[in-house]
């Protein structure tokens, strides 16, 4: 399990992470979502002991990374910047890691097999495609057979097959009971695989919740109704707006009404009760991407305003 507690990281005047607190539980894939520059990589680097917190802490199974006697057995990571000697083969690279970390040599072949690189074990890393490089990075993360995996944008630049492979692997690792923490700036990359989401903007926590709750909470799902008399129907629908139920109506193209806060059944019943003809009725679900943009809008707006104010002061 990972526990981030009131974590703040500043680089000079830049606050990359600002009082962040959340847990990452085993047995599920937790997506770490935030726009570019939100502080995801910084948080992950701090978890892995590569950056020192300005204040607060990041705990790996109850302790900071550096306090584990064999951290690679606790946590494995794929970070954006991977350093693999281009002249070294995948096998030699992992063998060096095994020696350095006290991992049995036999693990190298197992891990190469697991990530589908057994056939390319002797190839120099410098000749690897992006996808093969990602696989090698994941192999490295798995070397110590850790219970926790931290993956920073693992599908960046991968083709569809590669994306699918990473997704399946994350699912399998979580199903084995491991803690899987994966970052992305795109909801679309996480929506299929993540069970839980930690969403940040400008270094701050926006929400931590099950994926289904995030979708429900920020869903922009609405009902589209086509009628020859939109004005009258809109007036009737608006009457359903009452304490505890907010009904919002927008006028779309061709006299269509976009109704937020009511189900298609509600709209049909209200139209029937009012004696208004309905020529079409459908439910339109918001894309998760749109939901994500809504979530981060405030933090982006805040960023723009803060930047403007800074400029004004100069
Ligand atoms: N070593 C550093 N020195 C100075 N500023 C940094 C450093 N690392 C990160 N930052 C700044 O901290 C903020 C957060 O960056 P970070 O890379 O953690 O965000 P991110 O969410 O991972 O973004 P991305 O998806 O673009 O990688 C940014 O404003 C970034 O410019």
Query: Who lines ligand 1 at CB under 6 A?
Result: 11, 14, 16, 34, 36-42, 185
Q: Is residue 242 a part of any domain in this protein?
A: yes
Q: Is residue 310 a part of any domain in this protein?
A: no
Number of other CB atoms surrounding residue 54 within 10 Å = 15
9, 10, 14: residue to mutate for ligand 1 pocket, most atoms within 8 A of CB: 14
39, 58, 153: residue to mutate for ligand 1 pocket, most atoms within 8 A of CB: 39
The residue from 209, 242, 265 where one domain ends is 209
Q: Is residue 202 a part of any domain in this protein?
A: yes
Can you give the pLDDT of all 314 residues of the chain as single tens digits?
Answer: 999 999 999 999 999 999 999 999 999 999 999 988 899 999 999 999 999 999 999 999 999 999 999 999 999 999 965 667 788 899 999 999 999 999 999 999 999 999 999 998 888 888 888 888 889 999 999 999 999 999 999 988 788 888 999 999 999 999 999 999 999 988 888 988 999 999 998 899 988 989 887 876 666 778 999 999 999 999 999 999 888 788 999 998 878 999 998 999 999 999 999 999 999 999 887 655 665 666 666 555 444 444 444 443 43
pTM of the model: 0.77
Q: Is residue 290 a part of any domain in this protein?
A: no
Centre of ligand 1 to C-alpha 306, Å, is: 17
- Ligand 1: atom nearest CA of 42 is 18
Number of domains in the chain: 2
Candidates 213, 215, 308, 299; CA nearest to 34 is 299
Residue closest by Cα to atom 26 of ligand 1 = 36
Query: Which strand (E) or helix (H) includes residue 180?
Result: strand 179-184
Same domain, 264 and 203: no
Q: Is residue 18 a part of any domain in this protein?
A: yes
Q: Is residue 200 a part of any domain in this protein?
A: yes
Q: Is residue 94 a part of any domain in this protein?
A: yes
In order of 16, 208, 224, 300, the CA distances from 203 in angstroms are 5, 14, 37, 11
- Domain around 93: 2-209
Tell me the ipTM for this assembly. 0.95
Which residues are CB-neighbours of 296 under 8 A, at least 6 positions away? 34, 35, 38, 199, 201, 206
Q: What is the pLDDT of residue 308?
A: 42
- Dihedral over alpha carbons 129, 133, 136, 142 (to 10 degrees): -140
CATH number of the domain to which 273 belongs: 3.30.70.100
């Amino acid at each position: 399990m990972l526990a981030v507690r009131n974590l703040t990281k500043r680089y000079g005047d830049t606050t990359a992470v600002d009082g962040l607190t959340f847990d990452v539980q085993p047995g599920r894939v937790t997506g770490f979502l935030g726009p570019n520059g939100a502080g995801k990589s910084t948080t992950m680097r701090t978890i892995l002991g590569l950056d020192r917190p300005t204040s607060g802490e990041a705990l790996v199974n109850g302790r900071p990374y550096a306090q584990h006697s064999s951290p690679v057995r606790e946590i494995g990571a794929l970070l954006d910047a991977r350093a693999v000697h281009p002249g070294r083969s995948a096998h030699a690279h992992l063998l060096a890691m095994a020696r350095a970390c006290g991992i049995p040599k036999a693990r190298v072949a197992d891990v190469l097999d697991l990530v589908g690189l057994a056939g390319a074990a002797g190839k120099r890393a410098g000749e690897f495609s992006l996808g093969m490089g990602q696989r090698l990075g994941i192999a490295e993360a798995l070397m110590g057979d850790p219970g926790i995996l931290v993956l920073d944008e693992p599908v960046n630049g991968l083709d569809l097959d590669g994306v699918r492979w990473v997704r399946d692997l994350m699912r399998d690792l979580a199903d084995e009971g491991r803690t899987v923490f994966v970052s992305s700036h795109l909801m679309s990359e996480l929506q299929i695989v993540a069970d839980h989401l930690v969403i940040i903007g400008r270094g701050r926590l926006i929400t931590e919740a099950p994926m289904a709750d995030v979708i429900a909470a920020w869903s922009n799902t609405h009902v589209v109704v086509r009628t020859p008399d939109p004005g009258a129907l809109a007036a009737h629908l608006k009457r359903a707006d009452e304490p505890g139920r907010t009904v919002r109506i927008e006028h779309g193209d061709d006299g269509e009404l976009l109704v937020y806060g009511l189900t298609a059944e509600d709209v049909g019943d209200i139209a029937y009760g009012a004696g208004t003809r309905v020529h079409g009725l459908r439910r339109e679900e918001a894309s998760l991407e749109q939901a994500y943009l809504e979530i981060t809008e405030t933090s982006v707006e805040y960023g723009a305003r803060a930047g403007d104010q800074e400029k004004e002061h100069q």
